[in-house]
Amino acid sequence: MITYSATLDVADELALYLSGLLTDERRRRGTAIGRRALSTFHQAVMGLRWFRDRTAIPALARDNNISRATGYRYIDEVIDVLANKAPDLHQALLTAKNDGARYVILDGTLLPCDRLGEKTTSVTGTEIDRWYSGKHRQHGGTIQALTTPEGFPIWVSPVEPGSVHDITAAENHALGALYWAASQLDLPTLADGGYHGTGAGVHTIIKRSKAAHVLGSPLNTDHRTHNPLQRSLRALGERGFALLTQRWRTLQRITASPRKTGHIAQAALVLTHHEHGRIH
C-alpha cells in the first residue's frame, strides 16, 4: 500500500465556512458532540475534495476511515447545507439590480450523468429515455442559469431531465420572475435563439419569418445590426457555466442520482460566491 500527501487548492476560509454550516446543521438535528465519525471540518474537507477534484466517494470514505455508506451520507449533507444557502431567483434579480446591472443573461446547459433507464413519452407519442438529450447526444440533467453582464453566475435552477428543452425548463423555473424583473425593475434578460418567443423582457436574436425564408428575403439593416450586438453581449453568459464546471469538476459528470443535479449545481454556486467574496 502506497501513501502520499496532497494539497487541496481551496482557501482555509472556504473550508471553515462549510464547517460552520455543517456545525449549524448538526446543532439543528440535535447531534451530540462526539457522536459523529468525523469532525465538521474534516467532513467539509471531504466534501470540497469531492466538488473540486471529483474524487470517488468510496475513496474519500477509505481515506477518512469511515464506511462507504457513511461517506455517501456525509457528501449528501454537504450538498444540502450548501444548496440551502443558494439565492432564489427573486433575490438574485434584486441583488443584480442593486449592484448596477443593466441586464442579466439567461443560458442553459446539460450536465452529463451516468446512463439512467427511466422512460417517458415524447410530444410525438414515442417512448424515449427521460434523461437523454438528443441535442447533446448524451444523458444528463438540464440546468438554467442567470449571470451578470460580466458572465458571473448569480442563480441556477432546479434540474430538468435531459429530454426537456431549454425553453421548457425556463418556463418551469425562470420566466415568470424574469417578466417581473423586466417590468418592475427595468432589468431585461438576454438569451440565445433557443429562447425565441419567450415573451416581453427576454431578448433574443431576430429571426426571419417563414415567408421571408421562402422568398429568400434578408433581414433589414436594423435587424442585421441588432443580432451581432445581441450575440456579443449574451456570449459572456457562457462564462458562468465555465466558472462552475471548471472549478468544481464534479459537475463535469454527475455520478450521483441525476435528480440531485440541481442541488449539486446550487451548492457549487454557493462555493463560487464565497470564493469571489459575495458571501462572508
Nearest to 22 by CA among 72, 66, 85: 85
Sign of the four-CA dihedral 263, 268, 269, 273: positive
State pLDDT tens for residues 186-245.
Answer: 999 999 888 888 888 898 877 765 554 444 566 667 667 767 887 888 888 889 999 999
User: Would you state the cell numbers that stand for residue 143, as one nine-digit string?
Assistant: 440546468
Q: What is the pLDDT, as a whole number, of residue 120?
A: 78
pLDDT tier at 126, thresholds 50, 70, 90: confident
Q: What is the pLDDT, as a whole number, of residue 148?
A: 96
Q: How big is the chain, counted in residues? A: 280
By CB neighbour count within 10 A (0-12 exposed, 13-18 middle, 19+ buried), where does 234 fall? Answer: buried
Nearest to 89 by CA among 179, 220, 1: 179
State pLDDT tens for residues 30-60.
Answer: 988 888 999 999 999 999 999 999 999 999 9
